[in-house]
Amino acid sequence: MAWRCSANTNIGLINNLKASGIIQSTEVYRAMSLVDRKHYAPIKPYDDSPQTIGYGATISAPHMHAYALEYLKGYLKPGMKALDVGSGSGYLTSCMASMVGENGQVVGIEHISELVDLSTNNVKADHPEFLESGRVQFVTGDGRKGHPENGPYDCIHVGAAAVKTPMALINQLKSPGRMFIPVGSELHSQSIYQIDKDENGEIKEEELMGVMYVPLTDAEKQRGNW
């Protein structure tokens, strides 16, 4: 039913996602209600579909963001720390920041500097206090390598498909910690994987759903696509 979740307003979209059973928790409902997609997807913000944001990047469909937040919510509690790889427009970074609260932090990483500027300006328009307090930080860098300077992280979200799971990201997870990542190639099937690291550092992978994401690649290849 995900494709039926489009609406004319942000709260209408969120209510449709809840009615469809994709949003199941009060934490995710609240976070997505507080972050208005019009600041992050200016063309058709409340359509439940992926949209281009320029520079060879897209903002995922709202239902995929809702799934990500639901699977990660146990690791986005107040005071926790998260990494958003391929943070794009900054939308999901802001939703995650809403969930970790004033004492938490979310780092968004992008290898396209123009997207870092875009996401920063988007959050300034929606929740400037996230940036002013340091609750949200955007950095330019290779997301496949993560951002160890601020790690380790309670959870990591990856917004582009890796051919295989980057070990650098697994290494930056806390014990326990969780990662939500699409894995697969552009030409073949992709699936979202939930990767859990337990308190002893043991890794468990679970395939959640089939998807189609843009590839997790380097800046030069991405710039060659636009």
Catalytic residues: 60
Dist. CA 201–CA 198, nearest whole Å? 5
**Spatial separation of the C-alpha atoms in residues 150 and 30, rounded to whole Å:** 26
CA distance 135 to 47: 28
Residue 213 tokens, joined: 């994401």
C-alpha gyration radius of the chain: 16
Question: Helices 62-72 & 26-34, crossing angle to 10 degrees?
Answer: 130
Yes or no: say if 164 and 134 are a contact pair by the CB < 8 Å rule. Answer: no
Tokens 């509690």 sit on residue? 77
- Between the alpha carbon of residue 67 and those of residues 33, 180, 216, the distances in Å are 15, 10, 19
Are 92 and 159 in contact by the 8 Å Cβ rule? The answer is yes
The two structure tokens encoding residue 121: 């300006």
Structure tokens at 175: 């014990």
